[in-house]
Amino acid sequence: MKIVIIGSGAMGSLFAGFLAKAKEDVWLLDNNPQRAEKISEEGIKSQGVSGSWQVKVKMTTDPKEIGPADLIIIAVKSYHTKEAIKNIESIVAESTMILTLQNGLGNIEVISEVFGPERVIGGITNQGATLLKIANIKHAGTGETIIGRIDGKIPVGLRSLRETFNKAGIETRISKDIKALIWSKLIINVGINALTAITRLPNGKLLEFEGTRKIMEQAVSEAVRVAKRKRIKLIYDDPLAKVEAVCQATAANISSMLQDVQKKKHTEIDFINGVIVRQAQSLGLAAPVNTMLTNLVKTIEASYNNVVAC
């Protein structure tokens, strides 16, 4: 399968590495020439739960160099999706599938608007990876990847994508209700990410303090109210218990949002807690805790360069 992965962060590099090791025709596309040069020279290096490995991948900043692909994986942060799918017509053919496994809500819609919903595949992944430096990742945890179409249909292409991923060692299954999965993952991120970014605590530590536990409970319950009103059927019965279980299972993890804050980067707050605030507003529901979390993370982002040392 000819696979183009857009974005060479932790997740893009992890998927590129596994698929390249399985001898798929993998290309990484990134608009940063330094990253492109480094990865072209050294390939991708990983250490962690899948052992230590290094693999060469083809890498470019110019989509025209690649030609039509069978599969495109969007692996940029959610706020870059629009930008990432601009000027990629040369790699999108009639039968090209476009997969998003990004955090948060709204990516399927953004891609569908440009390329049509029939070719878009959504999903979630429980793989955990951290970018140590360019081309160098830590494979922090492994878990299922679940993919599907928003209309629930399972065409041949989707089945062969599942086979390709499983053959490459990326444990994958198909779901007919991908919306439920994306919301179920969203609620986990709502409960964990902003809180870790604000407190600078690893996931597991959020459970050790009364304050963070209370805020987590309220943020999750506001999000669940929105999901219920939208008739989204979550995949677990007790959302707060699920968020706590994820905190325990990923206790030592530095969440993706805390990693962004540590690197003074833009975060995905608008696609996580911010989405809950906007959706609650449009449904006439209150979401004060998610509003506060969103405003605090935005303040952290806005003050990266003018924090007075005290």
CA distances (Å), origin 66, targets 13, 26, 85, 90: 18, 10, 15, 8
**The two structure tokens encoding residue 54:** 């290094």
Check residue 142 for interaction with ligand PAF (CB under 6 A): no
Check residue 105 for interaction with ligand PAF (CB under 6 A): no
Would you call 264 a catalytic residue per the annotation? Answer: no
Number of residues that bind ligand PAF (CB under 6 A): 11
Choice from 8, 250, 267, 279 touching ligand PAF (CB under 6 A)? 250
- Choosing from 185, 214, 233, 265, the catalytic residue is 185
Q: How far is the CB of 188 from ligand PAF (least distance, A)?
A: 5
Q: How far is the CB of 254 from ligand PAF (least distance, A)?
A: 7
Segment near ligand PAF (CB under 6 A), from 22-30, 82-90, 91-99, 249-257? 249-257
Check residue 188 for interaction with ligand PAF (CB under 6 A): yes
**CA 77 – CA 47 distance, rounded (Å):** 23
**CA 309 – CA 304 distance, rounded (Å):** 12
Check residue 175 for interaction with ligand PAF (CB under 6 A): no
Check residue 193 for interaction with ligand PAF (CB under 6 A): yes
Check residue 103 for interaction with ligand PAF (CB under 6 A): yes
CA distances (Å), origin 277, targets 75, 261, 273, 288, 298: 25, 21, 6, 8, 14
**CA 164 – CA 24 distance, rounded (Å):** 8
Check residue 269 for interaction with ligand PAF (CB under 6 A): no
Check residue 218 for interaction with ligand PAF (CB under 6 A): no
**CA 6 – CA 85 distance, rounded (Å):** 9
Check residue 107 for interaction with ligand PAF (CB under 6 A): no
Chain residues binding ligand PAF by CB under 6 A are: 103, 188-189, 192-193, 203, 246, 250, 253, 255-256
* Catalytic positions: 185
